[in-house]
């Protein structure tokens, strides 16, 4: 009988790395000529998690292979893994061996593609992840800013055929620099093949061998000795799948229809298509897919370093121009000039072909279409070569228009024509007639008709044509322009906003109705009288109704206040209110998917923007690294809001820890918090109570960390006396939040200082320099809100209901209050109190009646969160009777907007209305004109941050050099017809701000413009002036056309035409605006 060798020679080959869901292959060679039963086990701790057994007949060095696999759900780092292999011949064990395995959780190779190379603020970033794995794991794509802060993550992003597609909107002020997209990739290390040969060994490489095949060759000497050698063979990857693209035509004109044809190898394939201008270099091509020896995939596109695996993918986010100036140019015309034309995914379905019909953009360029394909069987494939489409055009027409002008002004339509052809062109230019404007007729127009020009344009040259018009109505006026030759045409559709002259004013009045079976009907009156000599056509009035206390603010989440938001604190208006709205909706079980997603999107944009104001040391300041130091006040505010937001969005824990650590370092030995930077909130500067206000404010953010010394400092100062009502309100809420036994006494003291008006506590405070307004001071809103939050924390909810109802009726037409801080804390207080009311079940009707108008609203369970609106006829005097009938709660609001002329402002000053600022404006343009506007009033020794909004005369814009920033002017922004300056502070010393301007558009009979300066955190502390150019107000459009009107026919342009951007580069006449500002004293 056969007697086996009890210890035959054998070889085992297996991967060192174990991954869940990935087959682990074991190659076994035993030097016997008999059947052997081989068993292999993967042991985790003391448990067998995978096993396999097979019987092999080992003849002439034949090798056997078996595979094992562990499930991802059973994987863990808790105990080590080991591989155990045993062999038996009958009942006799002939081999036994074991080795430890290195556990790695995933085997994942990933390509990343974006739709563009570089991004600008406000653009949408589109990303595709192409995942290759033995299994289909859920991904968590991560986006980090240049400092490594986590900005975006998508939890459990499931893939379709291995492709994950995401996009996100960049804010208008994101952190600039290189952003990272993080994805892990691991080596393969699998046994792919085993065999034998007695002569030369011939191997045929397969795709699965890539990137590096490790070939182990051994032989057995007659003595039984085993000799082996190892050869590492790099394998070039050959993609098995294929996709091809082709255009129905390779040459097209703008706005033509064209078909993109897609062909794949396998039905059901997913194709990712990218069409960009030729030479963009962010496509996936076969040359860019390289397999390295370490099995990390390197994909080179975007001209930046990118390494997968333990490395990172780096992308660029750049902003052009000088950082302190943000240019927000309004779109001119209705043309389509995309940087990336097509970014899409399509599944071909049951076919292996697809056709996509597209409209050709207006760019005169060559488009390159590339694609990748993913399928179940064949995996990844990419196009061999891009499909190119060339867009041609005989000539180009553009229209140079301002975004807006003022009624009474005349406008010259400046039309630019450029000839691409090698021969001269005769072009007929026509502006369509409209009831919204009239042509200012020229002698030459008798030949062709109004708005029609015949123009000769030389080869490769540009021509400018002037067509004067006079707007007849307010609002948007349409401009339709068409240029034609016998063989081609081009057109432009655009609009110009015609605004009413004068200065816009606004008024809102709110009424809160609560009706029930015991009180089923309730009537209230609201009145408003327009001032005398209101600008004609500027009056507008409308009423709104909603069945929820937070309804107006939920609707207006994207625009709660109409103020600049370009610093680190002001940006939080885009972030903090969403927290309290979501908390309220969640507490009352009213949250719906649309509102929740909208609020979270706003929070993500606000979070992204806020990180641009974070400094290297972890602190935050109004202008980030531009400032000399971080701000304790702002860092505390941001930290508090970020902590509150964690249940709703991902906040990087490193951001929180660094901010908290920096704040802790600002604490003095007596417990107070110091401010190394600027307190830009005027009320928080606090005078003698400043340390109290600041320490209380910081402790609100850090109350969870048990800062006992700070609490003792505040309790001591309370015992000594706090004179400022504002400081005492902050102190009271901090004590209540911290569970201090002194909180009730502090609240009692604060309420004791109030004057009760209709059962509502009101606190008097200095109002020097405040303009008249229907709205309370922002500081009063903040104080009322802190009182409500304190009452809630101390269990005095019933005592705060009247104050809560009063506060709910002080909002503006957008759902916010006066500024950012009062809006944030007021919405926190309202949401906290309103949550106690529970889920409403309303069914009521609101009727509005007056002598000439009527409106009605029905509020019920299905629409109580809907902010309903109806327009009213704006009578000179509005006397509205508002009646609520039924069951439930409703918030009603009357809103009025109108313009007043500058002489009315002058009369206000004549009757003694006090102003906060000195403001003197001088305009220097081609003909010198000076307007000296002096005022007297009273104010403070210094403000916090102030904003100066400089309205520009029609046709003017800020020069390319812009306003130079310094210790006073911290930041400059531009909007259509306006320049916004962020002033660090305004003191009693006079400061001159120079604003260099250019005349960009041709406007005649130019009306006046306004300049307003105000304390950001107390907007009623403001001063407004108007200025103008006397000679420009008297010129007509004929002055642009020359004495004989020949210049309004056509002018050949000698300046440079940039055909790639379709813009004309010209030099513009300059002007200078000098503004002298200062804070007035008593």
More confident position, 690 or 535: 535
Classify residue 748 by its DSSP letter: H
Residues of the chain with CATH 2.20.130.20: 109-186+238-323+338-391
Pairing of strands 297-299, 289-291: antiparallel
- Chain Cα centroid distance, residue 918: 37
pLDDT in tens, 755-790: 998 889 998 766 666 777 888 888 899 999 999 999
The C-alpha atoms of residue 1053 and residue 1065 are separated, in whole angstroms, by 10
Residue 899 has a pLDDT of 93
More confident position, 302 or 476: 476
Q: Are 679 and 631 in contact (CB under 8 A)?
A: yes
Residue 546 has a pLDDT of 95
Tokens linked to 47: 């448990």
Cβ-proximal residues to 802 (8 Å cutoff; 6+ apart), any chain: 758, 759, 760
The C-alpha atoms of residue 152 and residue 166 are separated, in whole angstroms, by 11
Residue 107 has a pLDDT of 52
Q: Nearest-CA neighbor of 800 among 776, 822, 832, 771?
A: 832
DSSP letter for each residue of 848-917 = EE-SS-EEEEEEETTTTTS-EEEEE---SEEEEEEEEEEEEEEEEEEEEEEEE-HHHHHHHHHTT---SE
pLDDT band for 1081, please (50, 70, 90 cuts): very low
The C-alpha atoms of residue 472 and residue 435 are separated, in whole angstroms, by 8
Q: Give the mean model confidence (pLDDT) for residues 631-638.
A: 94
Instruction: Report the percentage of the chain scoring pLDDT > 70.
Output: 81
Q: What angle do CA 490, 492, 496 make, to 5 degrees?
A: 165
Residues of the chain with CATH 2.60.40.10: 396-499
Residue 835 has a pLDDT of 87
SS3 for 957-993 is EECCCCCCCCCCEEEEEEECCEEEEEECCCECCCEEE
Is residue 109 scored above 80 in pLDDT? no
More confident position, 176 or 549: 549
Cβ neighbour number for residue 845 with a 10 Å cutoff:
17
Q: Give the mean model confidence (pLDDT) for residues 285-301.
A: 47
Q: Nearest-CA neighbor of 608 among 170, 182, 127?
A: 170
Is residue 360 scored above 90 in pLDDT? yes
Is residue 1008 scored above 50 in pLDDT? yes
Residue 301 has a pLDDT of 32
Is residue 355 scored above 70 in pLDDT? yes
The C-alpha atoms of residue 546 and residue 798 are separated, in whole angstroms, by 24
The residue with tokens 């995978």 is 50
The C-alpha atoms of residue 1018 and residue 283 are separated, in whole angstroms, by 52
For residue 913, CA distances in Å to 489, 772, 919, 936 come to 60, 8, 15, 10
Is residue 208 scored above 70 in pLDDT? no
Residue 858 has a pLDDT of 97
Q: What angle do CA 1018, 1021, 1024 make, to 5 degrees?
A: 130
pLDDT in tens, 153-186: 887 677 888 888 888 888 888 887 788 878 744 4
Residue 1063 has a pLDDT of 41
The least confident of 71-80, 121-130, 267-276 is 71-80
Classify residue 91 by its DSSP letter: T
Task: Give CA torsion, residues 101, 104, 110, 112, to 10 deg.
Answer: -150
Residue 335 has a pLDDT of 57
pLDDT band for 319, please (50, 70, 90 cuts): very low
Q: Give the mean model confidence (pLDDT) for residues 870-893.
A: 94
Q: Give the mean model confidence (pLDDT) for residues 556-562.
A: 87
Residue 906 has a pLDDT of 57
Residue 35 has a pLDDT of 85
Reported residue count of the chain is 1082
The least confident of 158-167, 327-336, 553-562 is 327-336
pLDDT band for 913, please (50, 70, 90 cuts): low
Spell out the CATH class of 109-186+238-323+338-391.
mainly beta
pLDDT band for 846, please (50, 70, 90 cuts): very high
pLDDT band for 912, please (50, 70, 90 cuts): low
Q: Nearest-CA neighbor of 826 among 561, 618, 1035?
A: 561
Q: Give the mean model confidence (pLDDT) for residues 372-400.
A: 90
Burial tier of 470 (Cβ tally within 10 Å: 0-12, 13-18, 19+)? middle
DSSP letter for each residue of 629-679 = S--HHHHHHHHHHHHHHTTTS---HHHHHHHHHHHHHTB-TTSPBP-SS--
- Chain Cα centroid distance, residue 636: 23
SS3 828: helix
CATH number of 396-499: 2.60.40.10
Burial tier of 741 (Cβ tally within 10 Å: 0-12, 13-18, 19+)? exposed
Burial tier of 213 (Cβ tally within 10 Å: 0-12, 13-18, 19+)? middle
**DSSP alpha helix (H) spans, 721-856:** 725-737, 743-752, 778-793, 797-808, 820-834
pLDDT in tens, 1032-1080: 899 888 777 766 666 665 555 543 344 444 444 444 566 777 887 877 6
Strand order in the sheet with 475-484: 404-406, 489-499, 475-484, 425-431, 452-457
The residue with tokens 């960390």 is 705
pLDDT band for 246, please (50, 70, 90 cuts): very high
Residues of the chain with CATH 2.60.40.690: 909-1079
pLDDT in tens, 267-288: 999 999 999 998 877 777 777 6
Is residue 257 scored above 70 in pLDDT? yes
Is residue 318 scored above 50 in pLDDT? no
Report residue 929: phi and psi, to 5°.
-145, 130
More confident position, 374 or 279: 374
Spell out the CATH class of 10-105.
mainly beta
Highest mean pLDDT among 187-196, 289-298, 564-573, 650-659: 650-659
Q: What is the CA radius of gyration of the chain?
A: 37
CATH number of 909-1079: 2.60.40.690
Is residue 959 scored above 50 in pLDDT? yes
The C-alpha atoms of residue 771 and residue 769 are separated, in whole angstroms, by 6
CATH number of 505-548+840-900: 2.60.120.1540
Residues of the chain with CATH 1.50.10.20: 550-582+589-836
Pairing of strands 1009-1015, 946-951: antiparallel
Tokens linked to 120: 């600008």
Q: Give the mean model confidence (pLDDT) for residues 859-880.
A: 93
Residue 1016 has a pLDDT of 87
pLDDT band for 58, please (50, 70, 90 cuts): low
More confident position, 627 or 1057: 627
pTM of the model: 0.80
The residue with tokens 């002598």 is 851
Residues of the chain with CATH 2.60.120.1540: 505-548+840-900
Instruction: Report the percentage of the chain scoring pLDDT > 90.
Output: 43
More confident position, 94 or 629: 629
**In this structure, CATH architecture of domain 550-582+589-836:** Alpha/alpha barrel (1.50)
Q: Mean pLDDT over all residues of the chain?
A: 82
The residue with tokens 């210890």 is 7
pLDDT in tens, 693-709: 999 999 998 876 657 89
Tokens linked to 665: 């370092």
């Amino acid at each position: 009988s056969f007697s086996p060798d009890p210890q035959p020679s054998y070889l085992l080959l297996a991967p060192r790395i174990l991954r869940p869901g990935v087959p682990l292959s074991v190659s076994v060679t035993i030097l016997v000529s008999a059947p052997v039963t081989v068993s292999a086990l993967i042991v985790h701790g003391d448990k067998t998690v995978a096993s396999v057994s097979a019987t092999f007949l080992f003849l002439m060095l034949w090798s056997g292979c078996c595979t094992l696999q562990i499930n991802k759900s059973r994987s863990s780092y808790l105990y080590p893994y080991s591989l155990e292999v045993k062999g038996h011949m009958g009942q006799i064990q002939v081999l036994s061996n074991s080795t430890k395995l290195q556990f790695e959780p995933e085997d994942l190779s990933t390509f990343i593609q974006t739709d563009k190379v570089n991004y600008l603020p406000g653009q949408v970033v589109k990303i595709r992840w192409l995942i290759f794995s033995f299994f289909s794991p859920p991904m968590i794509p991560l986006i980090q800013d240049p400092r490594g802060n986590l900005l975006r993550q998508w939890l459990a992003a499931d893939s379709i055929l291995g492709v994950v597609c995401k996009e996100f909107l960049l804010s208008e002020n994101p952190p600039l620099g290189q952003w990272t997209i993080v994805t892990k990739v691991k080596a393969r290390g699998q046994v792919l093949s085993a065999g034998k040969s007695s002569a030369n060994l011939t191997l045929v490489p397969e795709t699965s061998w890539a990137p590096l095949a490790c070939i182990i060759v051994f032989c057995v000497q007659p003595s039984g000795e085993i000799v082996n050698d190892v050869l590492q063979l790099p394998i070039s990857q050959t993609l098995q799948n294929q996709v091809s693209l082709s255009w129905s035509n390779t040459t097209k004109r703008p706005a033509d229809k064209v078909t993109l044809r897609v062909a794949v190898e396998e039905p059901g394939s997913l194709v990712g298509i990218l069409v960009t201008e030729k030479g963009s270099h962010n496509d996936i091509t076969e040359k860019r897919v390289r397999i390295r020896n370490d099995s990390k995939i390197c994909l080179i596109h975007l001209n930046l370093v990118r390494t997968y695996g333990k490395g990172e993918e780096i992308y660029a986010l750049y902003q052009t121009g000088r950082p302190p100036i943000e240019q927000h140019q309004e779109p001119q015309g209705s043309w389509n000039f995309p940087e990336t034309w097509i970014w899409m995914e399509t599944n071909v379905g049951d076919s292996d072909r697809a056709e996509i019909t597209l409209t050709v953009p207006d760019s005169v360029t060559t488009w390159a279409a590339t694609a990748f394909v993913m399928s179940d069987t064949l995996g990844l494939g990419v196009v061999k070569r891009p499909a190119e489409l060339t867009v041609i055009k005989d000539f180009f027409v553009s229209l140079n228009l301002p975004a807006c002008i003022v009624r009474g002004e005349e406008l010259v339509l400046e039309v630019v024509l450029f000839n691409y052809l090698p021969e001269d062109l005769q072009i007929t230019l026509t502006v369509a007639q409209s009831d919204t404007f009239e042509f200012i007729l020229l002698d030459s127009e008798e030949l062709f008709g109004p708005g029609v020009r015949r123009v000769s344009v030389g080869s490769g040259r540009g021509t400018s044509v002037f067509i004067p018009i006079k707007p007849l109505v307010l609002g948007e006026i349409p401009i339709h322009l068409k240029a034609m030759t016998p063989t081609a045409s081009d057109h432009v559709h655009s609009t110009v906003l015609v605004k009413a002259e004068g200065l816009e004013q606004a008024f809102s009045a709110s009424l809160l109705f609560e009706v029930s079976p015991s009180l089923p009907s309730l009537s209230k009156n609201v009145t408003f009288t327009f001032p005398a000599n209101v600008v004609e056509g500027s009056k507008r009035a409308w009423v709104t109704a909603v069945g929820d206390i937070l309804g107006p603010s939920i609707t207006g989440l994207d625009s709660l206040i109409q103020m600049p938001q370009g610093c680190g604190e002001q940006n939080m208006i885009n972030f903090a209110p969403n927290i309290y709205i979501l908390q309220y909706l969640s507490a009352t079980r009213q949250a719906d998917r649309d509102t929740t997603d909208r609020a979270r999107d706003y929070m993500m944009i606000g979070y992204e923007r806020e990180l641009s104001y974070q400094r290297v040391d972890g602190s935050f300041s109004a202008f980030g690294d531009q400032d000399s130091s971080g701000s304790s006040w702002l860092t505390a505010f941001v930290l508090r809001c970020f902590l509150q937001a964690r249940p709703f969005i991902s906040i990087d824990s490193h951001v929180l820890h660094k901010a908290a650590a920096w704040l802790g370092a600002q604490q003095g030995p007596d417990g107070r918090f110091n401010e190394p930077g600027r307190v830009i909130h005027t009320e928080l500067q606090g005078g003698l109570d400043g340390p109290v206000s600041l320490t209380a404010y910081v402790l609100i953010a850090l109350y969870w960390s048990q800062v006992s010394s700070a609490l003792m400092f505040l309790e001591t100062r309370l015992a000594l006396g706090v004179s400022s009502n504002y400081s005492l309100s902050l102190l009271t809420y901090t004590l209540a939040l911290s569970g201090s036994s002194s909180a009730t006494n502090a609240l009692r003291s604060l309420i004791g200082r109030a004057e009760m008006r209709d059962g509502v506590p009101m606190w008097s405070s200095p109002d020097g320099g405040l303009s008249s307004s229907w709205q309370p001071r922002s500081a009063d809103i903040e104080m009322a809100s802190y009182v409500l939050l304190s009452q809630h924390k101390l269990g005095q909810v019933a005592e705060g209901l009247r104050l809560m109802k009063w506060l709910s009726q002080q909002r503006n037409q957008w759902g916010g209050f006066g500024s950012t801080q009062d809006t944030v804390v007021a919405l926190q207080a309202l949401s906290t109190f309103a949550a106690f009311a529970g889920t409403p079940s309303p069914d009521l009707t609101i009727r509005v009646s007056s002598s000439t108008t009527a409106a009605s609203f029905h509020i019920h369970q299905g629409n109580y969160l809907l902010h309903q609106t109806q327009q009213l006829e704006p009578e000179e005097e509005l006397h509205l009777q508002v009646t609520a009938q039924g069951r439930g709660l409703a918030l009603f609001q009357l809103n009025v907007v109108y313009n007043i002329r500058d002489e009315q402002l002058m009369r206000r000053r004549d009757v003694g209305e006090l102003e906060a600022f000195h403001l003197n404006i001088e305009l220097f343009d081609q003909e010198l004109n000076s307007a000296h506007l002096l005022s007297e009033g009273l104010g403070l020794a210094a403000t916090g941050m102030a904003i100066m909004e400089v309205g520009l005369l029609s046709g003017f814009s800020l020069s390319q050099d812009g306003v130079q920033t310094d210790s006073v002017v911290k930041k400059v922004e531009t909007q259509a017809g306006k320049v916004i300056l962020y002033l660090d502070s305004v003191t009693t010393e006079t400061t001159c701000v120079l604003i260099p301007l250019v005349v960009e558009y041709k406007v005649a009979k130019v009306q006046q413009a306004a300049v307003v300066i105000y304390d950001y955190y107390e907007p009623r502390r403001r001063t407004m002036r108007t200025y103008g150019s006397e000679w420009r107000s008297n010129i007509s459009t004929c002055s642009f056309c020359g004495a004989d009107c020949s210049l309004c026919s056509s002018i050949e342009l000698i300046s440079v035409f940039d055909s790639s951007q379709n813009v004309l580069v010209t030099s513009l006449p300059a002007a200078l605006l000098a503004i002298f500002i200062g804070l007035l004293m008593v």
